[in-house]
Amino acid sequence: MNGADVLCDVLLANDVNICFANPGTSEMHFVAALDRRPEMRCVLGLFEGVVTGAADGYARMTNRPALTLLHTGPGLANGLANLHNARRARVPMINVVGDHASYHLPLDAPLTADIECLAAPMSNWVRRIEGPDDVARATQAAIHASLSPPGIATLILPADAAWGEARPPASAVIDRPAPPATKGEAIRSAAEAIRKARGRAALLVRGTAALADSLKIAGQISAALNVRLFSEVQVAHMQRGVGRVAPTRIPYPIDAALEVLADIDVLVLVGAPEPVAFFAYPGKPGRLVHKGCQVLTLAAHGEDLKRALEELRDELGIKGSQAVPQAKTVPDEGRPSGALTEDAVAVIVAQKLPDNAIVCDEGITSARRFFSLSEQSAPHDFMMNTGGAIGIGIPLSIGAAIACPDRKVLNLQADGSGMYTVQGLWTQARENLDIITIVFANRTYAVLHGEMRNVGVQTIGENARRMLDLDNPLLDWVSMAKGLGVEAARAHTCEEFTGLLDHALSRHGPFLIEAVI
């Protein structure tokens, strides 16, 4: 067998069996090897940003690494923006980047590029396979790295390592890395600080601490000792909806974020870094807690966060039977009607969300209201753009739908961001994924209009308008979706939108609604 065969076998032996791919010539031996292994599911993206974003969505829903297959430096480069988001979401992922045969590199052929340098900023682990006999060892190391958070592992596969004769490993299955233990000292310090803060303490949860079981424990601590409960601005993954404990998301606008954290004297981090401003603004601070606030880490990402919360609860003397405030059903404020607005879309989606749905939110400014309403929706999983590199919504929904084929996926998609990886709609059609894409067609980079006002520009001129507005020509999402094989329709009114959403929810397969707001 050749190196490519060994690579496939080691991956499959360790349950890595989804490959999001856009291969090229230097990966042909690997493609041929994949062809000999139908148990590996290969999903083609027509652009590498689709590939890496889909792998992120898969990893967020399963906490398992997917494989991506990328073609040399430029193929990796095309996938970097969504790798950046994946790195910020701290998911497991294995990127196999094909490269020239090792002896071909000194010739500086046209596709030659410094792959290590390109990979480093968006990877937690990078390694080049040294030859056919290094394939097994390097692949095992990559799988191990992907499972040792943070887990973006990039493995460079020279063509001659793929095509050369290679020995299979004596044992293909690796020992899974154990999560690092949470320190008792951290539990006791957090408990002591919370007690002393007397109602001016907060927990900030992310990762597995934002899943339903952990949120319940955090909610018990919150209810018993009047501890505030926060999530970060950019939610990687949260379980949410009726019957679940709902943390307050720290607002994106810096003034609002400062206000919400103004009376917090003790902030306890549970799998989260300290919250900071997304961008800097002249004269405003970058840290969001006040200067006297004590910031402690209960447990870091990668540790068993649920157990850490349980230990904190016990240390604080709170019973496991402590009642928690639970989100309630969406109040019947009536069905919105008339001309469609972004808030009306949010209300209708929150009201109609089916049980156990998965929501991807790249609505940027347009979907803001959805999050607050969704604590009262049917129980669901919620994911956002974590790194600010736009163009993740469509790919993320692909990965979620492949991870959870029996669940409905709704992608709330801003139009400007959606254009970055619009090619992903084709993969949704090809794989017949059960995804409803709702495009907020406001025909502008609305967030940037807000930021122009933030820098003091009140009147926008021609040059700025031409860089911020998407209105000439208008993007026709229905035609684009049709061109990519996805059924689609446009709504101008709440009634039209409700009808289309009902239709999309009643069927299986991808559907796109262009919500003109």
Nearest distance, CB of residue 331 and a second copy, angstroms: 33
CB of 233 to a second copy, least distance (A): 8
Q: Which residues, 432 to 451, sit near a second copy by CB under 8 A?
A: 447-448, 451
Sequence-separated contacts (24+) of 188-192 with Cβ below 8 Å: 188/315, 189/296, 190/268, 190/296, 190/298, 190/312, 190/315, 191/312, 191/315, 191/316
- Is 184 a binder of a second copy (CB under 8 A)? no
Find how far residue 285's CA is from the centre of its chain: 27
Question: Using the rule CB under 8 A, is 161 a contact of a second copy?
Answer: no
Report the nearest approach of a second copy to the CB of residue 212 (Å). Answer: 25
Residue 181: DSSP 8-state: P
* Of 234, 206, 230, 232, nearest in space to 85 by CA: 234
Among 18, 31, 202, 396, binds a second copy (CB under 8 A): 31
Q: Which stretch binds a second copy (CB under 8 A): 193-201, 345-353, 355-363, 458-466?
A: 458-466
Pull the structure tokens for residue 276.
């900071």
User: Measuring CA to CA, which residue among 53, 44, 141 is closest to residue 91?
Assistant: 53
Q: Which is nearer to a second copy, 338 or 473 (CB)?
A: 473
Pair of tokens at residue 409? 């996926």
Q: Please, which residue, 43 or 202, has the CB nearer to a second copy?
A: 43
Per this entry, what is the length of the chain? Answer: 517
CB 248, min distance to a second copy, A? 19
For position 475 contacting a second copy by CB under 8 A, the verdict is yes
Residue 329 DSSP label: P
Of the residues 173, 181, 256, 280, which one makes contact with a second copy according to CB under 8 A: 280
CB of 79 to a second copy, least distance (A): 9
**315 and 231 in contact (C-beta within 8 Å)?**
no
Decide: is 319 part of the binding site for a second copy (CB under 8 A). no
Q: In 3D, which of 264, 131, 132 has the Cα closest to residue 194? A: 264
Tell me if 236 contacts a second copy by CB under 8 A.
no
CB 377 within 8 A of CB 364: no
End-to-end CA distance of the chain: 57
Euclidean distance between CA atoms 458 and 220, whole angstroms = 47
- Min separation Cβ 484 and a second copy, Å: 7
Number of residues engaging a second copy in binding (CB under 8 A): 106
Question: Judged by CB under 8 A, does residue 338 bind a second copy?
Answer: no
Q: Which is nearer to a second copy, 18 or 245 (CB)?
A: 18
Least distance (Å) between residue 40 CB and a second copy: 7
| Rounded Cα gap, residues 434 and 505, in angstroms | 9
User: Going by C-beta distance under 8 Å and a sequence separation of 6 or more, which residues neighbour residue 243?
Assistant: 326, 327, 379
Check residue 73 for interaction with a second copy (CB under 8 A).
yes
User: Is 165:106 a contact under the CB 8 Å cutoff?
Assistant: no
User: Residue 172 CB, nearest distance to a second copy (Å)?
Assistant: 20
Q: Which residue has the tokens 């990519």?
A: 484
Which of 173, 181, 262, 467 forms a contact with a second copy (CB under 8 A)?
A: 467
Looking at residues 416 to 435 of the shown chain, list those that interact with a second copy (rule: CB under 8 A).
416, 419-420, 422-423, 426, 429-430
Q: Which stretch binds a second copy (CB under 8 A): 79-87, 196-204, 216-224, 242-250?
A: 79-87
Single residue of 14, 68, 78, 498 touching a second copy by CB under 8 A: 78
Residue 505 binding a second copy, by CB under 8 A: no
Question: From CA 69, how far away is CA 156, in angstroms rounded?
Answer: 10
The one segment of 30-38, 148-156, 346-354, 406-414 that binds a second copy by CB under 8 A: 30-38
- Minimal distance in Å, beta carbon 332 to a second copy? 37
Residues 85-144 interacting with a second copy (rule: CB under 8 A): 88, 100-101, 103-104, 107-111, 113-114, 117-118, 120-122
Distance of closest approach, residue 67 Cβ to a second copy, in angstroms: 12
The candidate with the shortest Cα–Cα distance to 302, out of 90, 465, 494, is 90
- Which residue's CB is nearer to a second copy, number 265 or number 487? 487
Helix (H, G, I), strand (E, B) or coil at 208: helix
Q: Tokens 């030859």, residue?
A: 131
Q: At what angle do helices 184-197 and 305-315 cross, to 10 degrees?
A: 50
What whole-number distance in Å separates Cα of residue 220 and Cα of residue 302? 23
Of 149 and 219, the one with the shorter C-beta distance to a second copy is: 149
Q: Check binding of 174 to a second copy (CB under 8 A).
A: no
Work out how close the CB of 272 gets to a second copy at its nearest, in angstroms, rounded to a whole number.
Answer: 12
As measured in angstroms, the least distance from the Cβ of 136 to a second copy is 21
Pick from 367, 457, 453: which is nearest to 410 by CA?
Answer: 367
Which position among 167, 466, 507, 508 is part of the footprint of a second copy (CB under 8 A)? 466
Q: Which of residues 185-224 bind a second copy (CB under 8 A)?
A: none
Q: Are 25 and 69 in contact (CB under 8 A)?
A: no
- Tokens found for residue 205: 């949860």
Residue 108 or 263: which CB sits closer to a second copy? Answer: 108
210 φ/ψ angles, rounded to the nearest 5 degrees: -105, 10
Q: Rule CB under 8 A: is residue 1 a binding residue for a second copy?
A: no
Binding flag, residue 500, a second copy (CB under 8 A): no
The closest alpha carbon to 484, from 512, 504, 506, 447, belongs to 512
Q: Which is nearer to a second copy, 120 or 339 (CB)?
A: 120
